[in-house]
């Protein structure tokens, strides 16, 4: 994935989140507004490759840095499912070690998942989609 694509996805994602933050009065309304964007097939959602708002730029950045994203979720309000924003991915050990250092500095969670010895299965998570979006920019700055 080209670095400019990561920047573009981040800018689109940031624009959507700013719109949602301005128009949603609570987490449930935030979710409803996101759902409406997907239902209307918004151009902005297509620009995110139909990935969840809040994880799209980090999925792109992980992929560009040599990782293999498997699954992602932008999280849900505690009243719904209580799931925090996260991405599960595979990374070779040298990349995983660098990501861990960056995650500690960025104050987001990054943990190993049980897997074989050749690849490290990892999950990156944050209490907020903003944390994951910011981490995408940290990766962009460190892997370009």
User: What's residue 76's pLDDT?
Assistant: 67
User: What's residue 97's pLDDT?
Assistant: 92
Neighbour tally for 63: CB within 10 Å: 15
User: What's residue 120's pLDDT?
Assistant: 60
Q: Determine which helix (DSSP H) or strand (DSSP E) holds 109, and give its type and residue range.
A: strand 109-113
Average pLDDT over residues 37-55: 82
pLDDT in tens, 56-88: 999 999 999 999 999 998 886 655 555 789 999
Which whole-number Å values give the CA distances from 136 to 27, 36, 51, 79, 91, in the listed order?
23, 25, 14, 27, 16
pLDDT interval class at 117 (50, 70, 90): low
Which residues are 110's β-sheet partners?
Answer: 124
Dihedral sign computed on CA atoms, order 130, 60, 138, 97: positive
pTM metric for this prediction: 0.86
Alpha helices by DSSP H, the chain: 3-23, 27-39, 43-47, 56-64, 93-106, 129-143
- Residue pair 6/64 in contact (Cβ under 8 Å)? The answer is yes
pLDDT interval class at 6 (50, 70, 90): confident
């Amino acid at each position: 994935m080209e670095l400019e694509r990561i920047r573009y996805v981040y800018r689109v994602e940031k624009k959507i989140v700013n719109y949602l933050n301005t128009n949603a009065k609570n987490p449930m309304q935030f979710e409803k507004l996101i759902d409406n964007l997907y239902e209307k097939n918004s151009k902005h959602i297509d620009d995110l490759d139909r990935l969840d708002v809040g994880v799209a730029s980090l999925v792109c950045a992980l992929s560009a840095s040599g990782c293999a994203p498997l699954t992602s979720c932008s999280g849900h309000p505690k009243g719904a499912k209580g799931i925090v924003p996260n991405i599960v991915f595979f990374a070779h050990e040298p990349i995983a070690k660098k990501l861990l250092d960056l995650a500690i500095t960025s104050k987001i969670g990054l943990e190993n998942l049980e897997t074989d010895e050749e690849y490290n299965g990892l999950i990156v998570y944050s209490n907020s989609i903003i944390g994951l979006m910011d981490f995408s920019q940290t990766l962009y700055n460190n892997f370009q």
